[in-house]
Amino acid sequence: MRITSKGQVTIPQEIREQCGLLPHTQVRFVGSNVILDVITADPRWQAWSEEQLSRWLDRGPLLINPIIYAEIAFLAARAHAEYRARGGSRQTVLAGLNDAHAA
């Protein structure tokens, strides 16, 4: 997505249709740093980031920009590769999450 000289952003039609975004729908953009603060339990920013996400979720749905999603997926893959290089067990991330929730 690109910001125009008027400060406007055009959300591609495919995304608008998938998300049910109609004309005059308000959308909020969340930076990857806010999401990363939450999922990495950043000691300085986690509470603030969780509060902001909660505040904006109360006002409507939040959408993740595909570029932000890819950035976070890349960081997760790199962290998993480092974990495996240190001798971590070979399992899928989903299985690891399921095991953590079952405990």
For 41-86, how does the pLDDT look when each residue is reduced to its tens digit (9 = 90+)? 889 999 999 998 898 888 877 777 778 888 888 888 888 888 889 9
Higher pLDDT among residues 1 and 21, named by residue? 21
Q: Tokens 């000289």 map to which residue?
A: 5
pLDDT, one tens digit per residue, over 84-99 is 899 888 766 555 544 4
Average pLDDT over residues 25-54: 85
Two structure tokens written together for 31:
């930076």
C-alpha to C-alpha distance for 42 and 39, rounded to whole angstroms: 8
With CA atoms as reference, report the closest residue to 63 among 97, 21, 33: 21
Give start and end residues of each alpha helix (H) in the chain: 13-19, 32-39, 46-57, 66-85, 93-102
Amino acid at 85: A
pTM score, two decimals?
0.52
